Amino acid sequence: MTCATGALLLSVAVAQASPWQALPEQPPIPENNPQSEAKIELGKTLYFDPRLSKNGAISCNSCHNVMAGGEDNRPNSVGVHDARGGRGAPSVWNAAFLSVQFWDGRAESLEAQAVGPITNPVEMAMDDDAAVLARLNQIPGYVELFKAVFPESDPAISMENVAKAIASYERTLITPNSPFDRYVKGEKEALNEQQVRGMETFLNTGCVACHSGANFSGPDLPMGQGFFMKFPTFAGSEYDAKYDLLSDPGRYEVTKADSDKNMWRVPTLRNVALTAPYFHNGKVANLDEAVRVMAKTQLNKDLSAEETADIVAFLNGLTGEFPVQTMPRLPPTPNTTVLPLADK
């Protein structure tokens, strides 16, 4: 869905039908990649293993830190040899509820997203898929783990199976039971007076036109069908230049369709209080300013200081409970290394 008007109407209809929804206990799981404890553990091990990067310096967790808000609090993540792209790392928490991945929606699933950074030259920078598979095959523990998790695959170590394992782990990264969730379920003391007021302001201002649904990222859509909105919708405010909102054309880089210029996948607002700096380019340092920018650029509204503070208070009520994460023991390579001796 790339038509801003159609997307807006669809989202408004969903929001009017059920504006507030608690986060489900389990995200969608594709039929071709069922969950299992062994697969999740393998995916977790891969997620934390920096040997999936060319020089052994960067893991998935380096940019999507599950010990914190699921990203790295940088405007632009730092890859191998200090390489940097033009966009910040979206949070991995609750990404399993998104129907497409990355800011521009170029990955149709968590599986597709999981392997993209490994060979991206400004991220983990492995030369190609063959180099990734060769390295994993040099680590005896991974050979055994992949065979145990994917006994019907030949070979067991494949990029498809790497993707399935990492995605399975990422589907465990959900943060339920936020104050908002408890409030929606009937615990009316879960949100304080200011947060309830902010919840009403959020609705009345029109924020639910985009940030609807249980994940506050738009309507539930089939996997691979993204919910995109133009940002800024109302161009011409002072924020365009102040925060460089127009230089990155967004989804246009994927489709090359003029209608997709400055179109972006609508991000989740869950745990948004923990994921500064804000927007695709990380140009906005704090949530108060991000709320003001969104109101002006997306709804052409100027919020008062009280309205802004109330919405920020409400958004803090979307911080959920984070499942405990323990660091995995990485499979060793006794008596040798699989990493290049020169840092290249």
Catalytic amino acids? 123
Q: Report the distance separating Cα 231 and Cα 245, nearest Å.
A: 8
Say how many C-beta atoms besides its own lie within 10 A of residue 13's C-beta.
11
Positions at the binding site: 60, 63-64, 207, 210-211, 294
Residues of 31-60 as b/e, b for ≥16 C-beta within 10 angstroms? Answer: eebeeeeebbbbbbbbbbbbbbbbbbbbbb
Residue 63 burial by CB count (10 A; 0-12/13-18/19+): exposed, middle or buried? buried
Rounded Cα gap, residues 168 and 37, in angstroms: 9
Q: In angstroms, rounded to a whole number, what is the distance separating the alpha carbons of residues 116 and 108?
A: 11
Residue 308 tokens read as 């802004």
Residue with tokens 């050979």: 143
Reading the block at residue 212, the tokens are 């609807």
CB-based contacts of 199, cutoff 8 Å, min separation 6: 20, 180, 191, 314, 317
Residues annotated within a binding site for heme c: 60, 63-64, 207, 210-211, 294
Q: Rounded to whole angstroms, how far apart are CA atoms 337 and 344?
A: 15
Task: Dig out the tokens for 100 from the structure.
Answer: 């497409």
Tokens at 193, concatenated: 């007076």
Sign of CA dihedral 284, 289, 290, 295: negative
The SS3 assignment for 43 reads helix
Q: What are the backbone angles phi and psi of residue 7, rounded to the nearest 5°? A: -65, -40
Residues 263 and 226 sit within 8 Å (Cβ to Cβ): no
For the chain, how long is the longest CA-to-CA vector?
A: 64
